[in-house]
Structure 1
């Protein structure tokens, strides 16, 4: 049984949410929803932009410092009258009028967040404080994309939202793991103290088109290696497990959480569980049967197992993933092949 009492669910707030701009009640004002996405030029963020832009009543503002994101992910929206792109680092304050804030900004791959761990924890803590300050000023609802990493190397399996985690506070991954845990704390403190409307999603491994090809995450590694005719490198022991959610399912879950009535935290992920060796075999079978699977030393604090309990998401959001891993790998392979072919043609020209 999980240690501790329920830490999610709906909370009685001490104060009512702040009032939005008086313009919202003016007769001449267009009833558009102004939505801010931090980290919106990244992998998940750019897919969220695509989905939100489908609604003609949405105006979308993206802020990104392009540390891991790319303008290429959003080039089809640049110049659109309902879309705005701002180069900005969330560790600095931001002043805009919005109704919703999706706070995604943070490097999510170990290669990137270990590169500058101090900047990573600043993004998680100061960046989240700045976005909560903005939500407080303008009366916006804010959603934080937290992470399954808050569970650390879990002693409970599968992981429920009530589980408090097993995290190393001084390890090489702590800038991300503990940073996200502090971000969740800040969200609930602003909610209780200032009446801010909050939503917290604990997202599990997500994959799909637009992932950084060389970001060090296991599925993008395997697919890129298979396309390049390289050995698939499995970190020892190979029996550690992960669960993989296709990006369109993830975006659907985030939007349902934002517009629902539950503060969270709510796990958003696919409960299908695969060992790293099983994943490598699947990629080999689907993409390149000629490649070999080899093993290599593991990185410190790598969790042995990871699988979400999504009972709360099903009950509260009516959400569960639809895309099977084998189908999602095919879609990701097509995107990777196009981008790798483009990189090769540019390097040869």
Structure 2
């Protein structure tokens, strides 16, 4: 998206959105914030327990981003400030999750709680806000997903150890 802004199907200008991105301390969330700031005019409410990966965007914000991004340090499972942020947003994107494959084996309950149960307040606050609106045209959106779902064993790991498809293939390039 360039600086021309968004347009609707009739070519009319569409106002920039306020997007609440939960999980901006992670890989996807931090890169999403960078992309939104670089390529759109959207406003981002960045939410996480730490901001190391987006510190260059928020502490302090560069002059050209002032007023477009703000960081809110909070834990989604027990902080009532989250409801206010979700109410301010046109779109809420929940990326908060434990996404370390080793944790699935060593801390399975923590992983389930973080990726599912602790995320329930996000859905609850969003429902309160969205269904309070009488005009469906102005309804708010929620994108919720967990990065943990993309990790796991590869297809090759299910093959017998001596299966030819499990062998490492080396490609040599000669000049």
Q: Of the candidates 33, 55, 73, which is equivalent to residue 17 of structure 2?
A: 33
- Rounded to whole Å, the distance in 2 between the matches of 1:128 and 1:276 is 41
- The 8 Å contact of residues 46 and 74 in structure 1, kept in 2 or not, is answered as yes
Q: Residue 76 of structure 1 corresponds to which residue in structure 2?
A: 56
2:118 alignment partner, SS class: helix
Q: Residue 89 of structure 1 corresponds to which residue in structure 2?
A: 75
After superposition, give the CA deviation of every residue in 1:33-92 in whole Å (9 maximum; x if it has no partner). Answer: 1111111111111111111112453111121124xxxx3311220122211112212212
Q: How does 1:135-284 map to 2 (within 5 A)?
A: 135-139=126-130, 140-146=140-146, 149=149, 204=150, 239-240=156-157, 277=168
- Rounded to whole Å, the distance in 1 between the matches of 2:114 and 2:148 is 18
Residue 59 of structure 1 pairs with residue 29 of structure 2: no
Residue 116 of structure 1 pairs with residue 107 of structure 2: yes
- The 8 Å contact of residues 100 and 148 in structure 2, kept in 1 or not, is answered as no
1:77 alignment partner, SS class: helix
- Rounded to whole Å, the distance in 1 between the matches of 2:18 and 2:113 is 26
Distance 1:239 1:127, change over 3 A: same
Could you tell me the TM-score, scaled by structure 1's length? 0.33
Q: Of the candidates 20, 23, 28, which is equivalent to residue 44 of structure 1?
A: 28
Could you list the runs of 5+ residues in structure 1 that have no partner in the other structure?
A: 1-30, 150-203, 206-216, 219-234, 242-273, 287-349
Runs of 4+ in 1 over 6 A off after TM superposition: none
- Rounded to whole Å, the distance in 2 between the matches of 1:72 and 1:106 is 17
Could you list the runs of 5+ residues in structure 2 that have no partner in the other structure?
A: 1-14, 131-139, 159-164
- Rounded to whole Å, the distance in 1 between the matches of 2:19 and 2:115 is 20
- Rounded to whole Å, the distance in 2 between the matches of 1:36 and 1:44 is 14
Q: How does 1:283-294 map to 2 (within 5 A)?
A: none
- Rounded to whole Å, the distance in 2 between the matches of 1:99 and 1:128 is 19
After superposition, give the CA deviation of every residue in 1:156-182 in whole Å (9 maximum; x if it has no partner). Answer: xxxxxxxxxxxxxxxxxxxxxxxxxxx
Q: Residue 121 of structure 2 corresponds to which residue in structure 1?
A: 130
- The 8 Å contact of residues 99 and 138 in structure 1, kept in 2 or not, is answered as no
Q: Paired residues, what number?
A: 133
